Structure formats: C-alpha cells, structure tokens
Copies of this chain bind each other. A is one copy, B any other.
Amino acid sequence: MNSSKNVTISDIARAAGVSKTTVSRYLNGKFSMMSPETRSRIETVIRMTNYQPNSLAQSLRGHRSMQIGIVISDLVSPFCAAMIRGMGQPLLEAGFIPLIVDSKEDPALEARLIQTLMSRKVDGLIVNTSSYVNPDLIRIACEGVPVVLCDRYISDYRFAFVGSVHRSPITRLVAHLKEEGFGKIGFFTQEYRGNSTRFIRRDAFARALAEHYPGDDSEELTFVLDLTDQSGTIRCVEKLLASCPGGVPAIIAVNSATTMHLLGAIRAMGLTMPRDIGLCGPDDWGWDQQYSMSPLNYPGITSFTVHPAEIGALAAETLLNMIREPDREKRDILLPSELLIRDSTRLRASREEEA
C-alpha cells in the first residue's frame, strides 16, 4: 500500500470502456452477465495492469475481513509452530489469511493481543491460550465471534475445542513402567497450575500411581522444574534416585521441552538409561514423524505421539465450519495417541542382556 497511485477497479473500467459494475461482475465470475467480447476486453486490461482488487475495500463493503486471528502461547515452541503450520493450509485455501500473534505465555499480553485482533475485525479466533481464566474471550464469544480453543482450554465456558487425549497415554506409561520393573516413578513437570495440558497429565499420573504403586505419594514424586536451572534439576533427579534404594526409578516428563532438558541432565550426571534410570514422555513436537534421527530416537526414548499439525488443521476446519454454519452444535475433538516403547524404558531386556 504505497503513496504511488494504485490501479483500481475504476481504472480497469475506464481502460476497458465499461462500467465498474461490469468489472466487478467479471471479478466475481459472473460471466453469464456479459458478452464474450467485453469479458475478454476486461481480461486483457487486467492482465496488462496485473490489477488486484483491494481486499480492504472488499472487506469494508462486505462485512467480512477474511482474516482469522490466531493467538499462540509460545511461537518458538516446536509444538506451537507445528500447530500454526497445520492451520495455514485450510485457512488460505478457504481464502482467509491468518493474523498470528504470540502471547509468550503471558495472560496480560494475550488479552491485549486479542483486543488488537478484534479491532482488526477478524472473522474468527483460534486461541492456544496462556490463561486459564479469560472473561474477555468469553465476552467476545458471546458477542457472536466464532472462537476455537486449541490444545488448552479455559474454565467457565464451553468453547469449541480441539486437542489431544492426555490422560490415557500417561496411564499406559505408568502401567508399562511398572511392568518393566521400575521401582519408583517421578513426574517431572514445569509449573502445571494454570495449564490444562500439564494439569491433566499430572493428574493422570497421580491416579495411575495410586493404582500401580499403591504405597507411593504422588505429591512427593512430582517435581516442578525451572528449565533454566540445571543444578536444580540434577538435585531433583538425585532425590528420585535416593528414594529408590536398590531399585531403578523412572521419569515421566510432562512435555518435550522437559524431556530434552532431562536428557541433558541425565547425560551430565553420567547415568545410563535404562540401567540407572528410565525416561519417557510425550513427543509433543511431532519429531518422530518428521526426523528419522532426532535425539529422541538415539538413544531411543519411549514416548507417545502427539499431532500438533493435525490439531492445528482440525482447529482451522472447525472454525471455518462455525463461520459457514453458525448454529451447528460444537463438539470437542480429541486426537488419539500411540505409545512408542524404546530402549530408555526397556529395563527387563537390558537386565537380561547384562546377565
């Protein structure tokens, strides 16, 4: 959008010797309403000038901006990046352009950004929220703007939601670790209050522990890490090891960032997996699908699949449906997960090998 004069529909009309109306009809494919020769005249002029209609004017006139606001909690996380990529295709194909903003896990910033998007007149909102309470968002939804929540949800309101199954993979992981003979399981997490995903995973851990390790206290075995503090993490791992004398403990990491972090800690401590300690967690980043030889694969780390790109794509499609048919009932979509057992938790096999 520049100071230099842009070619408009009137210019085309004048050059083709027709009226704006006819050009507009041409642009919207109403070819049956004009003679073949005017059609081709217009076509030629448009070709020559490579004219493109001003979508701002179209939006103003048509009351639809064809813009979708996307609020993401942490753009640099591979999980979020993959979700965003997943959203792009369906939106662009439907003629919408995403306005992507990054709240950096800051609820206050998130609120401001949502305001910004609203004043830009977006036709809908996909929110991967940093908040757990967000009255503004609820108000917006009530005012009739289609909103889809993505991966994380908010209390006090039933939004359309697309995410992953979080509970059952953790449950199966605990059962698997028990079966392999691990003596103790620690759940290593980032701060999990105010984050529905972490909260559910940690809750699933607590319940599974009660079933498979009846004596253990899930409070004591939940370690809340600061991913920038390496020595703190090492102390937590040491504590877990000390709590399991004569046995081998295992770690369930709450997400991939924590897994990577622990991978570093375990190597720094000179521990061998699974002989000294087990490690497993979600593959939130979808790296299993993308890279054949990520650090998650060698040495193989037991994980369960998450599908961020698919979540994003489904969220976008859900939103598009809401825009097309506003009164359709909304239904949550939860993507299933698959367990991938790898060496980092194959304790029995490793023992047999040594014997």
Interface residues of A (CB under 8 A from B): 1-4, 52-57, 59-60, 63-65, 75-78, 81-82, 84-85, 88, 92, 97-102, 104, 113, 115-116, 118-123, 143-145, 227-230, 233, 257, 260-261, 263-265, 267-268, 290-295, 297-299
Contact = CB atoms under 8 A, between A and B. Distances in A.
A260 B230 contact: no
Contact of A92 (B77, B116, B292): B116
11 contacts: A1-B63, A1-B65, A3-B63, A54-B121, A76-B85, A100-B100, A228-B291, A230-B292, A261-B293, A264-B297, A267-B299
B53 A119 contact: yes
A229 B292 contact: yes
**Which 4 pairs across A and B sit closest by C-beta, in order of nearness?**
A264-B293, A1-B121, A52-B119, A264-B298
A59 to B, nearest CB: 5
Contact of A291 (B3, B116, B227): B227
Contacts of A298: 263-265, 267-268
B293 A55 contact: no
A116 B97 contact: yes
Given A76-B85, A85-B76, A261-B293, A57 B60 contact: yes
